[in-house]
Amino acid sequence: MNKSRYLQTIISLIILFGLFLVAGNYYIYSSQKQLLLTEFRQSQQTLHNLLTQLARESLITENYALIEWYFKRWGEGHPAVIELTLTSSNGFALSQFQRPLRDQESEIITTSSTITLHQEDYLLSLRSSSSEAQAKLLRLVEQMLVVSAIAITLLAVAIWLLFQRLAIRPLLQEITSRQKAEEEIQHQHQFLQSVINGVIDGITVINSDYKIILINTAAKSTLNQGHPKKSEQLYCYEVTHNRNTPCAGEDHPCPLHQVLESGKHTTVIHNHPDANGNNRYFELLASPLLDNQGKVWGIIETSRELTTHIQLQKELEENREHLNHLAHHDPLTGLPNRLLFMDRLEQARLKANRTRQPLALLFIDLDQFKQINDSDGHNIGDQVLQVTARLLQQCIRADDTIARLGGDEFTIIIDSYLAIKDVSAVAEKILLLLNQPLQIAERQYHVTPSIGISLYPQDANNSEDLIKNADAAMFRVKDRGRNSFQFYTEDLTQKVIARMNLERGIRRALQQRHFVVWYQPQYEIVSRTIIGMEALVRWNEPGEGMISPAEFIPLCEESNLILDLGEYILNEVMAQ
């Protein structure tokens, strides 16, 4: 810093000396010019006075030839004279000498006087050029330039010697020191680069403008193939994501942005697809990079590829899910097994307690399935079980659960129902589907189900008793001829069967037109006259006689058969 100021002082002194020298030369030049011009004017005035006196004497003697000869000889002998004339008052030139103007004529000085003789005026005019004075000035300027050049040269030599001693040598020493320092910095940089290149994890130094300052070999290997693998003039979001704006959003959070905001370490996960579009996942650990004032001006980002780890985790998760599926599902039909069924049943029972909604358990056993296994082999038996499982799945809702407990035993959990008829409707649908022949290996097989039903909390207050009661109801069906369903409670079974028979009878009566219309007159009390009649439906069942509307009307209203019955009665009345 002191050497720099000293150098500035020397340069300032040289400039001041030069300005002083220029000002002094200009002053001398101006003074000499004015002095020479003054002397020139005085000399010309003196000559003019002599010529005037000569012209007066010549006019007195009227010797015009003499004055003309003298003007010419005198003008030719004085190179500075441009014009010398003697003119009468009427404009007639008595004597005249003229020399052509030259390009280098700079300043013209004119001197004139009037001669009065015999009441007549004569004008004597002398015009001369200051070329001699200019020539002297030029010689003066040349002398001044020589002196100035010598002075400046001597001053420059003195200053150069002084500058050489006081500035150049220290500057060379400083340059040498700086070169050594830069070489040392370069060596340290190369050493640092060698150190971080030896790290297997990617390391990148990024400033607050997203520009890459330093990067190691491991990080370069992850750069986007569309960019050169060097850090100059590269931005992190260009080389990793091939985009023109910094990373943002939940999918690609920007670690630099997070560190600049919080000033703390942060960790994010990024997906950097390779040139083939394959996903490559990296864990980015960003640490704040501080300046001398403790302000964050960038980050040190360490990246570690997690692609293999994530793939292994995914495979382990898939294997875990597969093992979990195998542990909780029947490998033959894909239905929940006994373990998962017990869990689902317990969850359904807890939900029923919470919502105060009943649930039903159906225990299904295939009739004479053992004969298929014994006669046609277990392969056909397995296919029968698979087809049966698909048919059973068509009979339940999405919220219900169907499971295979083993062999030819299936269970169905009906998660909440509104009325017993909803449960019996499911059982009837199962009977209808499974009574149809099964087409397997170009042969037809007939499989019928025996279904036992228990209700919660009506028939049991825990899962084990609920299963036991449904199983008991199923064996009751087996004892009574199979291919049917039975509720655990006998009277409930009878009611359901009676309801089913009544509903079938109503449908049959509509088809066979066993419903008849009775008419009841409507009287007006005041006039005691018939004003209309009311049509009443009655069911006249052959072999049983008249059935009361109180028995079949409520069932028709619950099962929507009331619409068919209403249409039937309307058509009968209109026809009659």
pTM above 0.95, yes or no: no
Please give the biggest Cα pair distance in the chain.
Answer: 194
* Contact present, 431 and 485 (Cβ < 8 Å): yes
The pLDDT value recorded for residue 519 is: 92
Structure tokens of 380? 């056909």
Please state, in angstroms and as integers, the Cα–Cα distance from residue 493 to each residue in 49, 359, 477, 541, following that order.
167, 16, 11, 24
The pLDDT value recorded for residue 233 is: 67
Model confidence pLDDT, tens digit, residues 359-400: 999 999 998 888 888 888 889 889 999 999 999 999 988 889
Q: Reply yes or no: is the peptide bond before residue 457 cis, omega within 30 of 0.
A: yes
The pLDDT value recorded for residue 426 is: 92
Percent of the chain with pLDDT over 70: 88
DSSP H helices, 365-462, are 369-376, 378-393, 420-434
Task: Name the stretches of the chain with pLDDT < 70.
Answer: 1-8, 10, 29, 33, 102-106, 130-138, 140-142, 163-164, 166-167, 200, 222-233, 240-242, 250-251, 490-493, 495-497
280 three-state secondary structure? coil
569 class by beta-carbon count within 10 Å (0-12 exposed, 13-18 middle, 19+ buried): middle
Please state, in angstroms and as integers, the Cα–Cα distance from residue 481 to each residue in 371, 438, 491, following that order.
17, 21, 19
The pLDDT value recorded for residue 557 is: 79
Sign for the CA dihedral angle at 456, 457, 463, 468 comes to negative
The pLDDT value recorded for residue 166 is: 67
* Contact present, 473 and 454 (Cβ < 8 Å): yes
What contacts 430, CB < 8 A, 6 or more positions away?
362, 364, 391, 392, 395, 449, 451, 485
Please state, in angstroms and as integers, the Cα–Cα distance from residue 512 to each residue in 261, 502, 509, 540, 563, following that order.
85, 15, 5, 11, 17
